[in-house]
């Protein structure tokens, strides 16, 4: 069972349903527990660029991992499983990118295809 903590999952895009399943399977494999999704679709934040408002992003609670190395093990494997059309970003104190260090700790996942497959489909 996936645990939702104040997450608006209604009207989420199809790619996020698949990402949610992968996130849950991986959490069970690595941590032996259910994934906690803390945010799904929500109103845009001023100056924000995430895809939450479009139903193409979700946040996973990371405080329960216990260490930055476990957060990164999960995030890296999730990125590998979801593929290049998704961004998996560690935010909060465990972030390696200074832009994300001052945010609440979580793992942000968004479906953000960058046109990598468009040329293949056009052929």
pTM of the complete model = 0.84
26: nearest Cα among 52, 66, 60: 60
> d(Cα 48, Cα 55) in Å, to the nearest integer?
14
Candidates 3.30.990.10, 3.30.2230.10, 3.40.50.720, 3.30.1380.10; correct CATH number of 3-122?
Answer: 3.30.1380.10
The sheet carrying 106-111 orders its strands as 3-4, 36-39, 57-61, 106-111, 86-91
Q: For residues 22 and 71, is the Cβ–Cβ distance under 8 A? A: no
Report pLDDT for 8: 63
Q: For residues 97 and 73, is the Cβ–Cβ distance under 8 A? A: no
User: Domain boundaries in the chain?
Assistant: 3-122
Question: pLDDT averaged over the chain?
Answer: 86
Residue 122 banded pLDDT, cuts 50, 70, 90: very low
Q: What's the pLDDT tens digit per position in 84-108?
A: 999 999 999 999 999 999 999 999 9
> d(Cα 36, Cα 38) in Å, to the nearest integer?
6
Q: What's the pLDDT tens digit per position in 23-36?
A: 999 999 999 999 99
């Amino acid at each position: 069972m996936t645990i939702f903590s104040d997450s608006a999952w209604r009207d989420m895009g199809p790619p996020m349903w698949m990402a949610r399943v992968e996130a849950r399977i991986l959490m069970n494999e690595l941590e032996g527990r259910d994934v906690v999704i803390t945010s799904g679709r929500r109103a845009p934040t001023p100056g924000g660029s995430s895809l939450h408002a479009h139903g193409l992003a979700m946040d996973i609670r990371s405080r329960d991992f216990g260490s930055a190395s476990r957060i990164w093990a999960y995030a890296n494997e999730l990125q590998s499983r979801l593929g290049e059309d998704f961004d998996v970003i560690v935010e909060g104190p465990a972030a390696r990118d200074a832009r994300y260090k001052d945010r609440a700790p979580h793992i942000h996942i968004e479906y953000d295809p960058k046109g990598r497959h468009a040329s293949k489909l056009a052929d």
